[in-house]
């Protein structure tokens, strides 16, 4: 095999992997290719550059191959472009100094089998966030975290589980009518609650952790997609400002997350600022954003960053928002189209919802 043949095979694989996620099926082995989009973009760029080393201006096949590769590269880059510093912000920066309208949120998928809780507990003390959301928490983690939380965090929703889908919420700010909600499966909880800011304004929070499309978890993405679309519909219909956060088990640029954002009429705090790749914390090369925070247009951003290594496969996320509803028109999201609403409805159909009042 010549070097040129190798490059053609390499480029052909890049083209196939670009096209696979466009197939409208929810099998895990299709949906998994939504994830490594940044890596695929880099590989395709390398293939284009190196192929020119063996390019023959007399062969039309070389022109066709390079044109196909370049088109794939452009398509790939347009998917990740919104998360580069060259793109405009989805959420504008806040210049407000009114601390009563600020809310700080810290989210961490702790990794249930993690045996070093002291790293997370140290982060809790340092960040001193208004709201803490912990995922993959069993009773051992509940005991460790609950004991470490100060008396300021008197508002709590704790639902530990041994199946890696336990969820714990601690807040300094008053929670109103918090509920543990099973939107898709009676073993996969989410938390829905209203929250009163220090300014006495009330906002709506949705905290989710749907299952990933992986063979050991779920052979398809249907459950994950259904929970995301149900949450998007709740967001769109909410009469209160909305914050959605958690481990979505989906990347920011996927068709599912894009549809979720459109239908929910939400904004992504990362757009124009960076990827903030939260998973896999143990693999520098295979890393992408799975932990998200989406907000309605009433909020602006004060700060966003990844937390320190807590010996989990996820990095925590830390965000400070400012509630500025008087400026929402400057960053109002587009209304979802009828086609988007119909697709979201189809993905959410046939899923039973169970609620537990807390």
Kindly write down the DSSP assignment for every residue of 36-88, as one continuous string: THHHHHHHHHHHHHHHGGG--TT-HHHHHHHHHHHHHHHHHHHHHGGGSTTSP
Q: Is the pLDDT of residue 219 over 70?
A: no
Q: Which residues pair with 245 in a beta bridge?
A: 207, 293
Task: Check if the beta carbon of residue 309 is closer than 8 Å to that of residue 281.
Answer: yes
Tens of pLDDT along 117-145?
999 999 999 999 999 999 999 999 999 99
Q: Is the pLDDT of residue 22 over 70?
A: no
Query: How far is C-alpha 221 from the chain's CA centre?
Result: 15
Question: Would you place residue 44 in the very low, low, confident or very high pLDDT band (cuts 50, 70, 90)?
Answer: confident
Q: Is the pLDDT of residue 353 over 50?
A: no
d(CA 75, CA 70): 9
Question: So what's the pLDDT on residue 215?
Answer: 58
Q: Which residues pair with 301 in a beta bridge?
A: 93, 321
Q: What percent of the chain has pLDDT over 70?
A: 91
Q: What is the mean pLDDT of the chain?
A: 90
Tens of pLDDT along 328-341?
999 999 999 999 99
d(CA 192, CA 206): 5
Q: Is the pLDDT of residue 315 over 80?
A: yes
CA terminus-to-terminus distance, the chain: 65
Of all helices (H) and strands (E), which one includes residue 271?
A: none
d(CA 79, CA 39): 12
Question: So what's the pLDDT on residue 351?
Answer: 44
Question: So what's the pLDDT on residue 354?
Answer: 46
What average pLDDT score do residues 279-295 get? 94
Question: Would you place residue 276 in the very low, low, confident or very high pLDDT band (cuts 50, 70, 90)?
Answer: very high
Q: Is the pLDDT of residue 27 over 60?
A: no
Range with the lowest mean pLDDT among 60-69, 227-236, 252-261, 306-315?
A: 60-69
Question: Would you place residue 106 in the very low, low, confident or very high pLDDT band (cuts 50, 70, 90)?
Answer: very high
Question: Would you place residue 6 in the very low, low, confident or very high pLDDT band (cuts 50, 70, 90)?
Answer: confident
What Rg, from alpha-carbon coordinates, does the chain have? 22
DSSP state for residue 332 in the 8-state scheme: P
**Class of 99-357 in CATH:** alpha beta
Specify the 3-state DSSP secondary structure of 39.
helix
What average pLDDT score do residues 91-108 get? 97
Q: Is the pLDDT of residue 25 over 70?
A: no
């Amino acid at each position: 095999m010549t070097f040129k043949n190798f490059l053609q095979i390499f480029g052909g694989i890049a083209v196939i992997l670009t096209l696979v996620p466009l197939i409208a099926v929810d099998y895990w082995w299709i949906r998994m290719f939504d994830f490594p989009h940044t890596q695929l973009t880099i590989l395709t760029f390398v293939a284009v550059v190196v192929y020119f080393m063996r390019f023959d201006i007399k062969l039309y096949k070389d022109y066709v191959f390079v044109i196909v590769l370049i088109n794939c590269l452009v398509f790939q880059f347009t998917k990740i472009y919104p998360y580069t510093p060259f793109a405009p912000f989805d959420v504008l920066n806040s210049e407000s100094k009114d601390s009563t309208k600020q809310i700080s949120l810290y989210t961490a998928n702790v990794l249930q089998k993690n045996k070093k809780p002291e790293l997370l507990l140290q982060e809790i003390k340092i960040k001193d966030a208004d709201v803490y959301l912990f995922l993959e928490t069993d009773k051992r983690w509940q005991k460790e975290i609950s004991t470490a939380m100060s008396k300021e965090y008197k508002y709590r929703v704790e639902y530990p589980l041994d199946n890696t889908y336990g969820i714990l919420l601690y807040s300094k700010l008053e929670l109103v009518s918090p509920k543990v909600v099973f939107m898709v499966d009676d073993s996969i909880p989410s938390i829905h609650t209203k929250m009163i800011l220090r300014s006495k304004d009330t906002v709506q929070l949705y905290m989710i952790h749907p299952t990933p499309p992986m063979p050991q978890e779920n052979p398809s993405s249907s459950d994950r997609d259904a929970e995301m679309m149900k949450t998007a519909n709740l967001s769109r219909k909410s009469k209160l400002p909305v914050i959605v956060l958690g481990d979505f088990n989906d990347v920011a640029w996927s068709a599912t997350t894009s549809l979720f954002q459109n239908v929910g009429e939400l904004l992504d705090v990362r757009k124009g600022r960076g990827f903030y790749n939260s998973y896999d914390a143990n693999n520098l090369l295979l890393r992408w954003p799975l932990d998200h925070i989406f907000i309605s247009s009433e909020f602006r951003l004060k700060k966003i960053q990844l937390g320190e290594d807590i010996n989990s496969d996820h990095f925590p996320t830390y965000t400070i928002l400012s509630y500025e509803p008087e400026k929402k028109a400057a960053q109002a999201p587009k209304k979802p189209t009828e086609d988007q609403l119909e697709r979201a409805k189809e993905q959410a159909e046939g899923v039973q919802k169970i609620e537990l009042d807390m």
